[in-house]
């Protein structure tokens, strides 16, 4: 799961909890004492969601379908694809759009961890959370993340597979998302 999916799963919490969910990938280590208790709870929630998703049979099956040379990176690509499906299925009306605006407000008002600091203004300015609804945008985002990694862009190499496997990935999401929402009590 990526920004939008984590936001959706944390939307019922207060702003600090939601913010913790949004920045968790930029926070390393288990010592969260530098963060308020609500932000730390959000970071822990994000990590719990990631652990549940990464071990889920749907994800294990999707990973197994990916081209062998890209399997090390397929989790990153799938995180972005899940945001695509969340954007298409969950962000439908003004109430849902309020969640997107709430995320942007929090990310704009609060300093991001160093690992995410340069990306957050771009995420807001380019409206990534709404942009994920467009699969071409999502594929560009996958390739863009790959450009920030060292070595060959293995994420960009996964884009043809994502396009070819789209219908199956959509079915995967349709199985995974309701189970995840039920399991997390959302």
Helix 3-10, helix 94-109: angle, nearest 10: 110
Q: What is the CA radius of gyration of the chain?
A: 16
Question: Residue 131 to residues 8, 10, 36, 177: CA-CA distances in angstroms?
Answer: 15, 20, 31, 20
C-alpha neighbours within 13 Å on the C-beta side of residue 37: 0
Q: Where are the domains of the chain?
A: 3-183
In order of 5, 64, 115, the CA distances from 158 in angstroms are 21, 13, 24
The pTM of the full predicted model, rounded to 2 decimals, is: 0.92
Sign of CA dihedral 83, 76, 178, 186: negative
SS3 66: coil
Please give the chain's pLDDT, 186 residues, in tens: 689 999 999 999 999 999 999 999 999 999 999 999 999 999 999 999 999 999 999 999 999 999 998 888 999 999 999 999 999 998 877 778 899 999 999 999 999 999 899 889 999 999 999 999 999 999 999 998 888 877 888 899 999 999 999 999 999 999 999 999 888 766
pLDDT at 186: 64
Q: How far apart are CA 140 and CA 92, in angstroms?
A: 23
The torsion angle over the Cα atoms of residues 102, 55, 86 and 5, rounded to 10 degrees, is 10
Contacts of 26 (CB under 8 A, 6+ apart): 112, 113, 114, 115, 116, 117
135 secondary structure, DSSP code: H
Looking at 24-153, list the stretches that DSSP marks H as alpha helix, in order from N- to C-terminal side.
37-55, 57-65, 74-89, 94-109, 114-117, 120-125, 128-131, 135-147
């Amino acid at each position: 799961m990526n920004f939008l999916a984590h936001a959706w799963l944390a939307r019922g919490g207060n702003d600090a909890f939601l913010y913790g969910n949004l920045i968790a990938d930029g926070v390393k280590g288990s010592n969260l004492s530098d963060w308020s208790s609500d932000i730390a709870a959000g970071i822990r929630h994000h990590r719990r969601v990631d652990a549940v998703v990464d071990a889920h049979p749907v994800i294990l099956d999707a990973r197994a379908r990916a081209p062998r040379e890209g399997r090390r990176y397929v989790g990153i690509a799938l995180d972005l694809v899940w945001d695509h499906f969340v954007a298409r299925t969950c962000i439908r009306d003004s109430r849902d759009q309020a969640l997107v605006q709430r995320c942007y407000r929090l990310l704009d008002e609060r300093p991001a961890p160093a690992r995410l600091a340069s990306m957050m203004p771009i995420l807001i300015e380019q409206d990534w959370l709404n942009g994920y609804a467009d699969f071409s945008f999502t594929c560009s985002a996958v390739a863009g993340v790959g450009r920030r990694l060292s070595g060959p862009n293995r994420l960009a190499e996964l884009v043809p597979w994502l396009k070819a496997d789209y219908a199956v990935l959509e079915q995967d999401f349709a199985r995974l998302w309701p189970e995840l929402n039920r399991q997390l009590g959302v």
